[in-house]
Amino acid sequence: MEVQRYTVCRAEFLLPLSEPDRARRIRDGYVLAEGETIREVGPYTPEVGRGLRDRFGSALHVLGADSSRVDRAAGAEGSIPRLSGVLMPAFVKAHGHDHEQPIIGVAKDEPLTSWLDHAVNLFTRFMSAEYESLRAELGCSPRLAAYRMARLCDIHYGITASMVHHCNHNKYHLEEVARANEAAGTTMIVAVGGQDRHYVEDLLDRPEEALGRLEGALRIGGLERTSFCPGPDQLFSNSREMLVPLKAWAREHDTLFHTHSSEEPKTTRWFREEIEPGMTPVEFAESIGILDEQSVLAHQVHCGPRDVEILARTGTKVVHNPLANTILGSGMPPLMEMLAAGITVAISTDGSGSADNQNILAAARLGAQYQRALHQDATLLPAQQLLEMITVVPASILRLNQGELAPGRQADWVLIDLNRPNMVPTRLDNLTENLIWAADGSEIDTVVARGRVLKEGGRVLAFLDGSTPERIVAAVRKLSERFAVYRASAPELKGTGAHR
């Protein structure tokens, strides 16, 4: 669907998550977009409806006007029909990987670095090794098939913006992930991977090669929704010779700088004992001058008080991924200590290979449940704070003009169905709480990004390149069948981090 000149959406409930009162809950609210930008947000009244009709006439597109979501009981005062459900900002994912959906359920009961070698590195190598025959069978590049599938899953769960850490073999394929994103209509920062030590041999490269990839990315034409930043895979897999010039590139181009840090106990211990003796990954990063407010670390699970102090002092941002951290048995970060120290922390999903989905509401819930159980304190991380940690907070970390519904912000929002049995009864006073504690994440009915409808009536629409959800799913099914065959006979990969 094309972007309409004026789009209005009126719903039973509205959570703008905007200043001056981020906790404000509105009964019967609306949002008006002009093209890709929000113009008005607030309580709906019959006068508002009449005013919109008078000002915009037939140029006004009323979202969902002829759908089953129209709340017939509400009438259509002022002629803008009201949709049942809650309207709120679309979710923002500050850390993920778009190549992992085809490997959900693969190598599940293994720790991080053996899982990387047995699932992620093997899969991304497979797509390169069998590229031509996969392309012939799927009718498109296998990587494009995987990347489109990731876009489909994000939209399914109401995520319209993400930082995609394009690691391992994916680092050579920046144009394809960018094209998948442009076609999907989402917003993406691609953190471009690289490594020069302690990783599977065929992925090691030199700083000039990593810098060359970034320069090459800037020459990709026709991108409106995609940008790039340095994203060395791990601190253990990049020496100072690699990290220092990459951070310099980020400063020169005013971009973020993104990497995995201190994710798993064994590798973090090994880092301090052998890789950079006497230093944690964070102490090492600070010692070479790569931490500042534009540096974003994923995980930071194994994080002592001195690390917390360094991260707070340097303004470094942290992305917490509770689904991946628990499934891989990595541990959980000292989240409450980080927040108390003033560190900005977003909650995210990580890639689907470790998570094993993009259900960001479930990630927020799990993050809170773990901290409450650990500290035996039910007052920690209330629902309002959790919603902000998957909307406004990651948007601020990624420096994106979204994550809240306010005039001038990008028109990215979701409508969430409250009629599902698990969401009944939802009222104004338990609305925010139910989204975190009662939702299962599949209630996302409508998704709008930059004023364009990406999902409506619970169905993701065709992408701008014509690919439909059905074709995307069929291609990934074939891809995963082929990978299962390849995996059964491929020699074991070793060499990543502590998996040696």
Site residues (vs Zn ion, CB under 5 A)? 350
137-144: long-range contacts, CB 8 A cutoff, minimum separation 24: 137/478, 137/482, 138/475, 138/478, 138/479, 139/475, 140/475, 141/176, 142/479, 143/99, 143/170, 143/173, 143/176, 143/177, 144/176, 144/179, 144/180
The three-state secondary structure class of 420 is: coil
Residue 13 CB partners (closer than 8 Å, separation 6+): 25, 26, 27, 28, 29, 85, 86, 87, 418, 426, 428, 431
Q: Return the closest-CA partner of residue 324 out of 156, 493, 93.
A: 93
CB 398 within 8 A of CB 29: no
Interatomic CA distance for residues 242 and 497, integer angstroms: 17
In whole angstroms, the minimum distance from the beta carbon of 47 to Zn ion comes to: 49
In whole angstroms, the minimum distance from the beta carbon of 358 to Zn ion comes to: 13
Interatomic CA distance for residues 142 and 33, integer angstroms: 36
In whole angstroms, the minimum distance from the beta carbon of 298 to Zn ion comes to: 5
Q: Which residue type does 227 have?
A: S
- Residue number, 260 or 482, with CB nearest to Zn ion: 260
In whole angstroms, the minimum distance from the beta carbon of 326 to Zn ion comes to: 14
Interatomic CA distance for residues 269 and 114, integer angstroms: 16
- Residue number, 350 or 445, with CB nearest to Zn ion: 350
In whole angstroms, the minimum distance from the beta carbon of 444 to Zn ion comes to: 23
Q: Is 161 exposed, middle or buried (0-12, 13-18, 19+ CB in 10 A)?
A: buried
- Residue number, 350 or 456, with CB nearest to Zn ion: 350
Q: Which residue is nearest to Zn ion (CB)?
A: 350
- Residue number, 350 or 356, with CB nearest to Zn ion: 350
- Residue number, 196 or 350, with CB nearest to Zn ion: 350
Residue 177 CB partners (closer than 8 Å, separation 6+): 98, 143, 147, 164, 166, 170, 188, 190, 226
- Residue number, 18 or 101, with CB nearest to Zn ion: 101
In whole angstroms, the minimum distance from the beta carbon of 216 to Zn ion comes to: 23
| Distance, first Cα to last Cα, the chain | 50
In whole angstroms, the minimum distance from the beta carbon of 191 to Zn ion comes to: 10
- Residue number, 193 or 469, with CB nearest to Zn ion: 193
- Residue number, 52 or 191, with CB nearest to Zn ion: 191
254, two tokens:
């005013």
138, two tokens:
């799927």
- Residue number, 12 or 350, with CB nearest to Zn ion: 350
In whole angstroms, the minimum distance from the beta carbon of 346 to Zn ion comes to: 13
In whole angstroms, the minimum distance from the beta carbon of 348 to Zn ion comes to: 9
Interatomic CA distance for residues 63 and 22, integer angstroms: 25
Q: Residue ranges of the alpha helices (H) in 281-382?
A: 281-287, 305-314, 322-327, 335-340, 352-355, 360-375
In whole angstroms, the minimum distance from the beta carbon of 148 to Zn ion comes to: 20
